[in-house]
Chains A and B, each alone.
Chain A
Amino acid sequence: MPSQIVLRVNGVRVSVPTGVTVAVATAMAEQACRTSVSGEPRGPLCGMGICFECRVIINGKAHCRSCQIVCEPGMDIRTNG
């Protein structure tokens, strides 16, 4: 198993260690996960899938909890949800 995998965050190529969550990839890309209704940047708070603050769009699917999903090669992650 390769020690690094490559995916995209907002179209930008990012290489992350195998086994990390999408929340980590998003942080490594220096992106907030999403923008709240009132326009504030949001990111992981609870880290255990309860708070829903870390939602991103993965491969076109909206409202995925980035802290609960492990990165896969070629994933398309968007933080404008």
Chain B
Amino acid sequence: MSNKPFDVVIVGAGIVGAACADECARRGMSVALIDRDVIGGGATAAGMGHVVVMDDSEAQFALTRYSQKLWHSLRTEFPDDIEYEQCGTIWVAVDDEEMGEVRRKHGFYGERGVSTQVLNPKELRALEPNLRDGLAGGLLVPEDVVVYPPCAARFFTERAQKQGAQLFTTASVKRIGQGQVELSGGMQLSAPRIVNAAGAWAADLTPGLEIKKRKGHLLITDRYPAFLQHQLVELGYLKSAHSVTSDSVAFNVQPRRTGQILIGSSRQYGAEHKEVDHAILTRMLQRAQEYMPALVAMSAIRTWTGFRAATPDKLPLIGPWSGDKTLFLATGHEGLGITTSLGTAKLLADVLTEKTTEIPIEPYLPSRAREEFAHA
């Protein structure tokens, strides 16, 4: 069976694909959005929903900041279930070395127009009394936000549908390329532009993509209102998150509107199964308790895993895929897909409509990855 061609077919209705569908539809394109499961059922549902400005690289800063401003600009349009809360982030320092990193970050953000506040131990304690004694301080980033990602993905999808986008869920894609999208069951969609936004599974549809699954665990507690006010992340996270080989855990906790505490995080390569890995979950919770001893008395109600789509250089793949003029990518966002979904959608729609992007797109072009990693 063959249908009328779309202007663009987007494969993957996670937050990235949903945001891309919304942006393309708003620019007047006829859009099809396809997911093998439900809207936002993959990494989108598994992630924390921390809309955070990051500074691992200039390119990462540029995309996270660009995207965060887009989140800010939409706040009045979001329905309540997105649970948009500008709770801010505190990067927690345990020693003088990490306080050095706090000051460096403060300078880096300040030079780029993001105001932050360096906290001494007393100020840190006043903001988060449940952190342990003896910490060196922290960095408060007040503009960081927390959202509930699956509902955000649904919001963007529904907005796209209001603009005429067609949604195909529980539709498994077998093959994409050369202007054709083949679904299992024989249905075929055609479009001059196809976007692979399949997250950690993107390489299954586009062989040669340098994307690896990076497994993560999260745990959510019962309701403990007022226990936690900000998203707290250890600065040691920088060391652990950058390791590309070994399994790692980091203290990363988030207050939800319900009073629940979302506890992360873990990173594992080479773990293909969705099952909870109790050894690494234990390490993750021990790490959290080192920073917040009172967590030990809390009740957990659920724990789960998800797969980040990790690229070798920690930057997403946004733009045309060489070798097939109809194929474009919007994947490889690793742990920042919620944050950077909105910037990704703008960049991708700019590429598709041949407009100048608001921030340089070169660092995210798939062609850079092939050049840089061809000899790796």
Contacts and interface: CB of A to CB of B under 8 A. Distances in A.
Interface of A: 37, 61-63
Contacts, number: 10
B64 to A, nearest CB: 33
Contacts of A37: 258
A37 B223 CA distance: 10
A36 B348 CA distance: 45
B133 interface: no
Could you say which of A37, A61, A62 has the most chain B C-beta atoms within 10 Å of its C-beta?
A62
A63 B222 CA distance: 8
A61 B224 CA distance: 10
B374 interface: no
Contacts of A63: 222-223, 298-299
Interface string B296-313: 011100000000000000
10 contacts: A37-B258, A61-B297, A62-B222, A62-B223, A62-B224, A62-B298, A63-B222, A63-B223, A63-B298, A63-B299
Contacts of A61: 297
Interface in B186-236: 222-224
B301 to A, nearest CB: 9
Nearest 10 interchain pairs by C-beta: A63-B299, A63-B222, A61-B297, A62-B224, A62-B222, A37-B258, A63-B298, A62-B298, A63-B223, A62-B223
A69 to B, nearest CB: 14
A62 B301 CA distance: 14
